[in-house]
A and B are shown apart, each in its own frame.
Chain A
Amino acid sequence: MSGSSRAFAPFTAGLAQLGACGIFLVQTLRAVPRSLRYLRETVRQVFFVGAMSLVIIMTCGLFVGMVLGLQLYHTLSIFGGTAALGTVVALSLYRELGPVVTALLFAGRAGTSITAEIGLMRATDQLDAMEMMAVDPMAYVVAPRFLAGIIAMPLLACTFNALGILGAHLVGVSWLGLDNGTFWSNMTANVDIWDDVINGVWKSTAFGAVCTLIATFQGYTTPPTSEGVAYATTRTVVFSSIATLAIDFIMTAFLM
């Protein structure tokens, strides 16, 4: 290998991975109609990636909201604008923090478990066994998880937002003495359902698709070794986090 091609090797390997992931996405989308006959499996996966992530999402949402309430209250009080606390917290959560932090937590909690599960299925020949029983693993294993991620992520983000606002209310109203009516009325007056809430839902739906795509792709293509599965789970978190932040920037630019 020449020096220049060695220097470009990581770049070309990354491009090859990206291309393979694109092909995998097409295969997954083609498998989605066939996976509808495994509706029970999709529901099971919604429970695993969604309901089982609720504790971490709710806990983190509450604390993020409390920190936001505390920081913003002190900053806004400099300008005499503490009345806007509810509005600023809600906009921060709906537009950015809710979808993004939920996606990052989802990648760490559900994404890694999807990758490890599919990776171990690969390592123990379970995917090959399904092929041999004339069951398409793309339709039975990958597509239900992909759909589950798309369904669960917006619901988790909404839960995160709700707990975040509750956390900010606890700090701002119950602890620091902001008027309860001011907190809620300013928020409801300035938060738009379409521009703020629904845009956040679109974002989290996109993050759900990307995070589960990365998780299933990494698991499905992992080398069938313990080291391979370990690297694949790490890559899931790293790539999902980068992809989430990059897509967030692009979507924000278009949805502003």
Chain B
Amino acid sequence: MNANQDDALIRIRGLRTVLNGKTIFSGVDLDIPSGKITAIMGPSGTGKTTLMRHITGQLAPDAGEVIVAGRNVWTLSRAGLFELREKIGYLFQNSALLTDYSVFENVAFPLRQHLRLPEEILRDIVLTKLQAVGLRGAAELMPSELSGGMVRRIALARAIVRDPMLIIYDEPFVGLDPIALNQILKLIRTLNQTLGITSILVAHELAAVRQVADSIYLIAAGKIAAHGAPDELARGETPWTKQFFAGEADGPVPFHYPAPDYATQLGLAGGKP
């Protein structure tokens, strides 16, 4: 572990998860340092989102400890879990905006549910967050009227509206044009530097991740395959890092899902019986 354990906001030990008979994690140990941006990377289907669901108490692991801000998530009562979640901002992979509410009401939703703020103050906070993601002008639109990239930026505004201690970005760069992507990167960096918010970034885009992340965990085959600073990992010589960061088809991660012999399946001569 590179992170200083005393500074870790999240500490995971001996995490084991089996879903539908498939082993997702087989003894993962991981520390997310406080006030840093930590990226979680790995091949598709390797369990990155599942890991986030363990951290936020949405999915119970089969074994292991998940400690967030000094509290074991899986020993908390529902009220305790909700108290913890109030301090966490979560950007969902598919944004998960409330489709019956306008952009403004979506961003205002967490404030209305938990705080009794005067309408003017609430309005100012929401407009500030919308301004940060460049969509103040879209406040009155409905989610169905937005493009995919705009929906993602609104979801980000909602995730940060309560200035959480931890923000989890699950695939924040998908569907963004280069301008929006740059702005989101800037925003992630600003939130981290000015407010000291701890961030977890689940992403595949190495170029973008390198610009903001302090460290990267590479997850593969149910374990931590590599951990280190972005540049260090990009130069990595292990089979995992070489294949993942170079995007090679051949390596420890098979490109093809297990299947019978191709030639045999096509009925061609020479196929294995």
Contacts and interface: CB of A to CB of B under 8 A. Distances in A.
Interface string B89-113: 0101110111100000000011001
Interface centre among A125, A131, A133 (most CB of B within 10 A): A133
A135 B90 CA distance: 13
A129 B96 contact: yes
A129 B83 contact: no
Contacts of A131: 58, 85
Interface string A130-168: 011111100000000000000000000000000000000
A131 B110 CA distance: 11
Interface residues of B, number: 20
A77 interface: no
Given A124-B99, A134-B82, A129 B92 contact: yes
A128 interface: yes
Interface centre among B82, B96, B99 (most CB of A within 10 A): B96
Interface centre among A124, A128, A129, A132 (most CB of B within 10 A): A132
B113 A135 contact: yes
B98 A132 contact: no
A-side interface size class? 10 to 19
B61 to A, nearest CB: 17
A33 to B, nearest CB: 14
Contacts of B85: 131-134
Interface in B112-127: 113-114
B192 interface: no
A133 B58 CA distance: 12
A126 interface: yes
A134 B83 contact: yes
A126 B113 contact: no
A136 to B, nearest CB: 8
Contacts of A133: 85-86, 109-110, 113, 158
B38 interface: no
A124 B158 CA distance: 16
Contacts of A134: 82-83, 85-86, 110, 113-114
A126 B99 contact: yes
Contact of B92 (A125, A135, A136): A125
B198 interface: no
Nearest to B88: A132
A128 B114 contact: no
Contacts of B56: 132
A120 B143 CA distance: 14
A43 B90 CA distance: 30
A125 B113 contact: no
B83 A128 contact: no
A128 B92 contact: yes
A11 to B, nearest CB: 25
A132 B86 CA distance: 8
A128 B96 contact: yes
A236 to B, nearest CB: 20
Contacts of B90: 129, 132
B137 to A, nearest CB: 24
A128 B85 CA distance: 12
A133 B94 CA distance: 16
Given A133-B109, A135-B113, A125 B94 contact: yes
B24 to A, nearest CB: 18
B196 to A, nearest CB: 21
Interface in B207-222: none
Given A129-B90, A132-B88, A132-B92, 9 more contacts: A126-B98, A128-B58, A128-B96, A132-B90, A133-B110, A134-B83, A134-B110, A134-B114, A135-B110
Interface of B: 56, 58, 82-83, 85-86, 88, 90, 92-94, 96-99, 109-110, 113-114, 158
5 A-B pairs with the lowest CB-CB distances in the bound complex, closest first: A129-B96, A125-B96, A134-B82, A132-B90, A134-B85
19 contacts: A125-B93, A125-B94, A125-B96, A126-B96, A126-B99, A128-B58, A131-B85, A132-B58, A132-B88, A132-B90, A132-B92, A133-B85, A133-B113, A134-B82, A134-B83, A134-B110, A134-B113, A135-B109, A135-B113
